[in-house]
Chain A
């Protein structure tokens, strides 16, 4: 093996029950270079770096660090071999000082007491080296996110890291902070530190990196030399999978001109000036990367979060739901992404899960009409084909697909006009996925509902939507008609960086 590589991941494969997260991925990092790692959501970037940190044990493959071969890493081994990872969420203690955080877990001691003075002196030196001005005595919580990140980097260097892996380091930073982070990263490179830089902001990658490694669906696609590549080529490599046409077709029997929901310049919950319309009988896809502000938008429409400004017009009336209850009563429903935490009430029966939003409405003097609740549940068991021996069954005993149907039944029973799906098929197996798609089609086609669908799966987004609106970093970056759908355009819109100043820290 060539000596110029400080880190090599060779033929890494990682299987989880039922899924292959990484298939034969090879990564080679040269000394003193910045290697950008890119790919869509779920391409396997995180899993790959977790193999380096020891958080994930690969099913097969080898990890070679400075010529030493390992089957897998442990966090301790990684540290001993000079690998450090700067995560998006910092591992710091907010109530301690910068110096104390720098030496967290291995303080400088004088006898049995901690030598605060020495730690502050050392911290000062470490910060000096990075040419950043941080008072070692200031509490972590009083530092800006950018400085907190610098403390993390300083900590990694303090522990003799030679290989630095940075996971979306620019995501939480303001533009000014991003600039100074770039300068630090470039200085580190000139000092011979090797860096793996993960980001979805393509401009940054062109600005910083020497080479680019592209992953797609857990597979290694290509490694490019940054200077010799084009942004269009890169996007093609990221999204260039074969589109399989296995989406059920919809017939257009409903005139799609009746606007159900209209948003005008809606701001709040991290989103800025979102304007869109959803019509009766259509599926509006909401595309973008994880963290683009799509779920946040759904929360505002559903009353789970509050908008700061702008207007929401639902079926001709301006609305301002203060709670999910109000939104539900208006006819808005949300099928959340995290089914187990936000959707299904696992310890409760199917029947009760379906009836939960309408109990109060159908009760006489608070007493439940047990016959009616059973009938409602029975009706939707039939029409949605929920597979269960009895409706008294606890929902946790159902498969993911059937759980999703129960939640759908809940909203149909509540007479919702607009149904927001947040990642409708996450955690659902392939066969059941198709069934959910058919149900969605049935809802818009036969029931005349309007659907707003958030999806990070490119295929699903393009296969199911009538139109697609793309968000990036809380802003709307594009809207596409069905005939203009293309993976490349969506990806391009989704990676537009927020260049405006003054993003809140």
Chain B
């Protein structure tokens, strides 16, 4: 019974934190709570939100994907290059880009699963290499000059709602569906919770890892395309450091860093908290160095909370 209460609290705590933040920022600056600012906030976090789906799955398995930021940069350059330098049709360019970003994820899966490298190092290697490839393709210069139509993904609106926010919501829905309604979702929890038992229950652990890293590559690619459309300029450093913000969203959302436990709804809350913090601090004119410190502390607190829980359970 007591355990149940603790679990309930843990699940809800994240929403309480979000509510407290919203109230605090609203008092500090009434502009925070205006609908237009709220939508801006959501648009700001949409790239994190989209990429966080794949990252959630990866962390559920107990692994990590450091390639996310680099895939975003690479996708920026690749998609821009295909459309501008090669004059490719927009839809075709997007499809090719998404396929390639998914394949980069598959490459991570190959290194982690088939070769047996630690995910930390395998995805770090991918990160470094694809950053370099992006620079070679563009020669270090930004690529500009997309069609008007392409702007819709990052800058368009449906009614008053920004298109990237709609894409993010759709992604969360898809992520939640995979996690709760398909058997892959069950596999993720099983593998992350107890890899040996999962194997002995007939789960093909290797394939599951391939799948998860590929999905992570796909969502990173999607985030990259939204970003390209939003900035309207393909830049080779567009996704620099993005993986850490995405990891923060996921971990803050209560997904256990050791794998096996977490919910999509928590990640939604985690993403909103990061958005509220970033947006609120800007409104309060807090300088960006201090913002960095705050985000670092928040990440440490989130993981620390998770670890304390684990420790209590084992002792």
Contact = CB atoms under 8 A, between A and B. Distances in A.
> Do A and B bind?
yes
A366 B180 CA distance: 11
B196 A341 contact: yes
Interface string A344-379: 111110001001110110010011101000000000
Contacts of A356: 186, 190, 198, 201-203
A341 B197 contact: yes
B260 interface: yes
A364 B181 CA distance: 11
Contacts of B203: 325, 356
A73 B190 CA distance: 43
Q: Which residue among B3, B184, B194 has the maximum number of chain A CB atoms within 10 Å of its CB? A: B194
Contacts of B199: 304, 323-324
B181 A341 contact: no
A414 B186 contact: no
A213 interface: no
A304 to B, nearest CB: 7
A345 to B, nearest CB: 5
Given A325-B204, A348-B190, A343 B182 contact: no
A302 B200 CA distance: 9
B108 to A, nearest CB: 22
Interface in B188-243: 189-190, 193-194, 196-204
Contacts, number: 77
The interface residues of chain B, by DSSP majority, are classed as helix
B305 interface: no
A357 B182 contact: no
Contacts of A360: 183
A366 B202 contact: no
A343 B189 contact: no
Interface residues of A, number: 31
A288 B10 CA distance: 48
Interface residues of B, number: 22
A328 interface: yes
A79 interface: no
B244 interface: no
Given A323-B204, A348-B190, A414-B202, A342 B183 contact: no
A342 to B, nearest CB: 5
Contact of B189 (A302, A348, A355): A348
B198 A366 contact: no
A36 to B, nearest CB: 37
Interface of A: 302, 304, 323-325, 328-329, 334, 336, 341-348, 352, 355-357, 359-360, 363, 366-368, 370, 397, 410, 414
10 contacts: A304-B200, A323-B204, A324-B200, A324-B202, A341-B196, A341-B197, A345-B197, A359-B186, A368-B183, A370-B181
